[in-house]
Amino acid sequence: MKRFLPPTHFFTYLLISVLLNFILPIKQIIFYPYNLLGIILIFAGSVLNLWADRIFKDQQTTVKPDQKPSSLIDYGPFKISRNPMYLGMAMILIGTGIILGSILSFSGSVFFILAMEFYFIPDEERLMKEAFGSVFENYKTKVRRWI
């Protein structure tokens, strides 16, 4: 089992983004009122996360990346992304970066995406392939990892 699950990474990188924005406000790149566009991304990312989580619960399959899944979900947000919850979290982090507007406020979203891409997703996809074989491989050819 991985020590810190994706929500812990998400909240850690969110905190890092906010703190860096205020501790080291190096360069402001997005100004009012344009920074308010970040609210749209935060809202959309939240909706995407809640929608995907609801589907996991409805299908009674695990949301934990280190546990074997019991079903392959290929509808709803899973038609556009193999990882809609990670996509939603990334959208929230990017939206936060836009609202804060400084260069360093985007660091959390970069670190989060890299952590998911290299630390979590490969193991998840291995478990999916073990559980669903060619059905998962076919799904991978139709749906991109992020968008």
Residue 7 falls inside a structural domain: no
Residue 17 falls inside a structural domain: no
Structure tokens, 134: 């060619």
Domain that holds residue 125: 30-142
97-143 pLDDT, tens digit per residue, is: 999 999 999 999 999 999 999 999 999 999 999 999 999 999 999 99
**How many domains, the chain?**
1
Going by pLDDT thresholds of 50, 70 and 90, the confidence category of residue 26 is confident
Structure tokens, 18: 């906010």
Residue 10 falls inside a structural domain: no
Indicate the Cα dihedral angle 123, 66, 135, 74, nearest 10°: -110
Contact 17, 96 (CB under 8 A): yes
Helix, strand or coil, per DSSP, at residue 88:
helix
Closest CA to 88 of 4, 14, 143: 14
Residue 23 falls inside a structural domain: no
